[in-house]
Structure 1
Amino acid sequence: MLSWLAEQRIQEAMRNGEFADLPGHGKPLELEDLSGVPEELRMSFKIMKNAGILPEELTLRAECVTLEELLAACRNSGNANSSEQKSLESKLSLKRLRLQQLLRERGLENSSIFTEYGDQIRQRLSGQE
Protein backbone atom coordinates (compact mmCIF):
# COMPACT_ATOMS: atom_id res chain seq x y z
CA MET A 1 0.00 0.00 0.00
CA LEU A 2 2.77 2.41 0.94
CA SER A 3 4.69 1.83 -2.30
CA TRP A 4 1.51 2.45 -4.32
CA LEU A 5 0.94 5.76 -2.51
CA ALA A 6 4.57 6.80 -3.04
CA GLU A 7 4.30 5.96 -6.75
CA GLN A 8 1.10 8.02 -7.05
CA ARG A 9 2.78 11.02 -5.42
CA ILE A 10 5.80 10.71 -7.70
CA GLN A 11 3.57 10.53 -10.79
CA GLU A 12 1.62 13.59 -9.63
CA ALA A 13 4.83 15.55 -8.99
CA MET A 14 6.08 14.62 -12.48
CA ARG A 15 2.82 15.82 -14.07
CA ASN A 16 3.16 19.10 -12.15
CA GLY A 17 6.72 19.55 -13.43
CA GLU A 18 8.29 19.51 -9.98
CA PHE A 19 11.28 17.48 -11.20
CA ALA A 20 11.98 19.58 -14.30
CA ASP A 21 14.62 21.87 -12.78
CA LEU A 22 16.59 19.32 -10.78
CA PRO A 23 20.38 19.21 -11.32
CA GLY A 24 21.30 16.53 -13.82
CA HIS A 25 17.81 16.53 -15.38
CA GLY A 26 17.93 14.71 -18.72
CA LYS A 27 21.43 13.36 -18.12
CA PRO A 28 22.31 9.70 -17.52
CA LEU A 29 22.83 8.62 -13.93
CA GLU A 30 26.42 8.07 -12.84
CA LEU A 31 26.31 4.67 -11.20
CA GLU A 32 29.21 3.66 -8.99
CA ASP A 33 30.94 0.36 -9.61
CA LEU A 34 31.74 -1.00 -6.18
CA SER A 35 32.26 -4.56 -7.38
CA GLY A 36 35.97 -4.41 -6.54
CA VAL A 37 35.33 -3.30 -2.96
CA PRO A 38 34.86 -6.10 -0.42
CA GLU A 39 31.14 -6.35 0.42
CA GLU A 40 31.66 -5.67 4.13
CA LEU A 41 33.46 -2.39 3.29
CA ARG A 42 31.10 -1.02 0.61
CA MET A 43 28.71 0.90 2.85
CA SER A 44 31.46 2.49 4.93
CA PHE A 45 33.41 3.44 1.76
CA LYS A 46 30.29 4.98 0.23
CA ILE A 47 29.52 7.00 3.37
CA MET A 48 33.11 8.21 3.57
CA LYS A 49 33.18 9.06 -0.12
CA ASN A 50 29.96 11.06 0.15
CA ALA A 51 31.52 12.94 3.08
CA GLY A 52 34.63 13.66 1.00
CA ILE A 53 36.83 11.42 3.12
CA LEU A 54 39.03 8.63 1.83
CA PRO A 55 40.22 5.75 4.00
CA GLU A 56 43.86 6.20 4.94
CA GLU A 57 44.93 3.06 3.06
CA LEU A 58 43.52 4.45 -0.20
CA THR A 59 45.22 7.78 0.35
CA LEU A 60 48.48 5.99 1.07
CA ARG A 61 48.14 3.87 -2.07
CA ALA A 62 47.59 6.99 -4.17
CA GLU A 63 50.60 8.68 -2.57
CA CYS A 64 52.73 5.59 -3.27
CA VAL A 65 51.75 5.64 -6.94
CA THR A 66 52.66 9.34 -7.17
CA LEU A 67 56.01 8.77 -5.48
CA GLU A 68 56.73 5.80 -7.77
CA GLU A 69 56.01 7.96 -10.82
CA LEU A 70 58.28 10.73 -9.51
CA LEU A 71 61.05 8.21 -8.89
CA ALA A 72 60.67 6.79 -12.39
CA ALA A 73 60.89 10.31 -13.81
CA CYS A 74 64.06 10.96 -11.78
CA ARG A 75 65.66 7.75 -13.00
CA ASN A 76 64.70 8.39 -16.63
CA SER A 77 66.00 11.95 -16.72
CA GLY A 78 69.64 12.37 -17.63
CA ASN A 79 70.32 14.81 -14.82
CA ALA A 80 68.77 12.96 -11.88
CA ASN A 81 69.47 14.62 -8.55
CA SER A 82 70.80 11.91 -6.22
CA SER A 83 69.63 13.61 -3.01
CA GLU A 84 66.15 14.18 -4.47
CA GLN A 85 65.94 10.56 -5.56
CA LYS A 86 67.00 9.34 -2.10
CA SER A 87 64.43 11.62 -0.50
CA LEU A 88 61.67 10.21 -2.73
CA GLU A 89 62.78 6.64 -2.01
CA SER A 90 62.72 7.36 1.72
CA LYS A 91 59.22 8.85 1.54
CA LEU A 92 58.01 5.90 -0.52
CA SER A 93 59.43 3.41 1.98
CA LEU A 94 57.71 5.18 4.87
CA LYS A 95 54.37 5.25 3.02
CA ARG A 96 54.65 1.54 2.18
CA LEU A 97 55.48 0.66 5.78
CA ARG A 98 52.48 2.63 7.06
CA LEU A 99 50.24 0.96 4.47
CA GLN A 100 51.43 -2.51 5.50
CA GLN A 101 50.84 -1.62 9.15
CA LEU A 102 47.30 -0.41 8.42
CA LEU A 103 46.44 -3.49 6.39
CA ARG A 104 47.79 -5.74 9.15
CA GLU A 105 45.80 -3.83 11.83
CA ARG A 106 42.58 -4.13 9.81
CA GLY A 107 43.09 -7.78 8.94
CA LEU A 108 43.32 -6.98 5.24
CA GLU A 109 46.97 -7.90 4.74
CA ASN A 110 46.16 -11.28 3.19
CA SER A 111 42.78 -10.38 1.71
CA SER A 112 42.80 -11.27 -1.98
CA ILE A 113 39.77 -9.06 -2.62
CA PHE A 114 41.43 -6.04 -1.03
CA THR A 115 44.65 -6.77 -2.94
CA GLU A 116 42.67 -6.92 -6.19
CA TYR A 117 40.95 -3.66 -5.31
CA GLY A 118 44.33 -2.10 -4.56
CA ASP A 119 45.63 -3.24 -7.94
CA GLN A 120 42.61 -1.66 -9.65
CA ILE A 121 43.25 1.61 -7.83
CA ARG A 122 46.94 1.50 -8.78
CA GLN A 123 46.04 0.94 -12.44
CA ARG A 124 43.47 3.73 -12.44
CA LEU A 125 45.82 6.20 -10.74
CA SER A 126 48.68 5.38 -13.07
CA GLY A 127 46.45 5.62 -16.17
CA GLN A 128 46.75 1.94 -17.14
CA GLU A 129 43.01 1.21 -17.28
Structure 2
Amino acid sequence: MVFQISEGVKVSVETYYQPDYSNPVASEFMFAYRITIENNNTFAVKLLQRHWNIFDSNGSYKEIDGDGVVGVQPVILPGDQYQYVSGCNLKTEMGKMQGSYTMENIHTKKEFDVRIPMFEMIAPFKVN
Protein backbone atom coordinates (compact mmCIF):
# COMPACT_ATOMS: atom_id res chain seq x y z
CA MET A 1 0.00 0.00 0.00
CA VAL A 2 1.16 3.53 -0.77
CA PHE A 3 -0.23 6.77 0.60
CA GLN A 4 0.22 10.50 0.38
CA ILE A 5 -1.09 13.40 2.46
CA SER A 6 -1.79 16.77 0.85
CA GLU A 7 -4.07 19.62 1.89
CA GLY A 8 -5.03 17.66 5.02
CA VAL A 9 -6.35 14.69 3.05
CA LYS A 10 -4.68 11.26 3.11
CA VAL A 11 -5.06 9.09 0.00
CA SER A 12 -4.07 5.41 0.33
CA VAL A 13 -3.97 2.93 -2.56
CA GLU A 14 -3.89 -0.88 -2.70
CA THR A 15 -3.68 -2.73 -6.04
CA TYR A 16 -4.71 -6.23 -7.13
CA TYR A 17 -4.10 -8.14 -10.35
CA GLN A 18 -7.34 -9.59 -11.77
CA PRO A 19 -6.39 -12.85 -13.57
CA ASP A 20 -10.03 -13.81 -14.25
CA TYR A 21 -10.54 -10.60 -16.24
CA SER A 22 -7.16 -10.64 -17.97
CA ASN A 23 -6.11 -12.26 -21.26
CA PRO A 24 -2.31 -12.18 -21.56
CA VAL A 25 -2.41 -13.75 -25.04
CA ALA A 26 -4.41 -10.74 -26.23
CA SER A 27 -2.27 -8.27 -24.21
CA GLU A 28 -5.09 -7.47 -21.80
CA PHE A 29 -4.11 -7.16 -18.14
CA MET A 30 -6.78 -6.05 -15.69
CA PHE A 31 -5.96 -4.51 -12.33
CA ALA A 32 -8.22 -3.35 -9.52
CA TYR A 33 -7.30 -0.68 -7.02
CA ARG A 34 -8.85 0.25 -3.70
CA ILE A 35 -8.57 3.87 -2.65
CA THR A 36 -9.20 5.18 0.84
CA ILE A 37 -9.58 8.94 1.27
CA GLU A 38 -9.29 10.24 4.83
CA ASN A 39 -10.27 13.81 5.66
CA ASN A 40 -7.97 15.07 8.43
CA ASN A 41 -9.22 18.66 8.12
CA THR A 42 -11.57 20.49 10.49
CA PHE A 43 -14.06 21.01 7.65
CA ALA A 44 -16.04 18.73 5.36
CA VAL A 45 -14.79 18.24 1.80
CA LYS A 46 -16.55 17.24 -1.40
CA LEU A 47 -14.71 15.32 -4.11
CA LEU A 48 -15.63 17.09 -7.34
CA GLN A 49 -13.34 15.66 -10.04
CA ARG A 50 -10.56 13.18 -10.69
CA HIS A 51 -7.54 13.35 -12.96
CA TRP A 52 -5.44 10.26 -13.79
CA ASN A 53 -2.11 9.78 -15.56
CA ILE A 54 -1.77 6.14 -16.63
CA PHE A 55 1.52 4.71 -17.87
CA ASP A 56 1.96 1.31 -19.52
CA SER A 57 5.40 -0.37 -19.58
CA ASN A 58 5.38 -0.27 -23.39
CA GLY A 59 5.68 3.52 -23.24
CA SER A 60 2.03 4.37 -23.82
CA TYR A 61 0.42 7.07 -21.72
CA LYS A 62 -3.11 8.30 -21.27
CA GLU A 63 -4.91 10.92 -19.20
CA ILE A 64 -8.40 10.52 -17.85
CA ASP A 65 -10.57 13.25 -16.33
CA GLY A 66 -14.05 12.95 -14.93
CA ASP A 67 -16.55 14.06 -12.34
CA GLY A 68 -16.31 12.38 -8.94
CA VAL A 69 -15.33 8.74 -8.53
CA VAL A 70 -17.31 5.62 -9.48
CA GLY A 71 -20.33 7.78 -10.31
CA VAL A 72 -20.50 9.81 -7.10
CA GLN A 73 -19.14 13.05 -5.64
CA PRO A 74 -18.81 12.04 -2.00
CA VAL A 75 -18.80 14.45 0.91
CA ILE A 76 -16.28 13.43 3.55
CA LEU A 77 -16.76 14.84 7.03
CA PRO A 78 -13.82 15.80 9.28
CA GLY A 79 -12.19 12.65 10.66
CA ASP A 80 -14.14 10.38 8.29
CA GLN A 81 -13.03 8.39 5.27
CA TYR A 82 -14.44 7.27 1.94
CA GLN A 83 -13.35 4.10 0.17
CA TYR A 84 -14.01 2.84 -3.35
CA VAL A 85 -12.73 0.21 -5.78
CA SER A 86 -12.11 0.77 -9.47
CA GLY A 87 -10.01 -0.77 -12.21
CA CYS A 88 -7.53 -0.22 -14.98
CA ASN A 89 -6.89 -2.28 -18.11
CA LEU A 90 -3.29 -2.28 -19.36
CA LYS A 91 -1.74 -3.68 -22.54
CA THR A 92 1.32 -4.97 -20.63
CA GLU A 93 1.96 -6.83 -17.37
CA MET A 94 3.20 -3.67 -15.65
CA GLY A 95 2.17 -0.08 -15.39
CA LYS A 96 1.63 2.76 -12.98
CA MET A 97 -0.89 5.46 -12.21
CA GLN A 98 -0.92 8.75 -10.38
CA GLY A 99 -3.23 11.70 -10.30
CA SER A 100 -5.22 14.17 -8.30
CA TYR A 101 -8.66 14.96 -6.98
CA THR A 102 -10.23 18.39 -7.12
CA MET A 103 -11.99 18.89 -3.81
CA GLU A 104 -14.10 21.64 -2.34
CA ASN A 105 -14.25 22.97 1.20
CA ILE A 106 -18.00 22.64 1.85
CA HIS A 107 -18.11 25.77 4.03
CA THR A 108 -16.05 28.24 1.97
CA LYS A 109 -16.67 26.66 -1.48
CA LYS A 110 -12.91 27.02 -2.12
CA GLU A 111 -11.52 24.33 -4.43
CA PHE A 112 -8.15 22.66 -3.91
CA ASP A 113 -6.18 19.74 -5.36
CA VAL A 114 -5.26 16.58 -3.46
CA ARG A 115 -2.48 14.37 -4.83
CA ILE A 116 -3.02 10.67 -5.51
CA PRO A 117 0.33 8.91 -4.97
CA MET A 118 1.97 7.03 -7.81
CA PHE A 119 1.25 3.31 -7.55
CA GLU A 120 2.42 0.35 -9.57
CA MET A 121 0.35 -2.41 -11.13
CA ILE A 122 2.39 -5.56 -11.70
CA ALA A 123 1.08 -9.00 -12.62
CA PRO A 124 2.41 -11.50 -10.02
CA PHE A 125 4.01 -13.75 -12.65
CA LYS A 126 6.13 -10.79 -13.83
CA VAL A 127 7.73 -10.42 -10.37
CA ASN A 128 9.20 -13.94 -10.36
Q: TM-score range by the shorter chain?
A: under 0.3
**Greater share of residues in strand:** 2
Q: In terms of Rg, which structure is larger?
A: 1
State the TM-score, normalized to the length of structure 2: 0.22
**Greater share of residues in helix:** 1
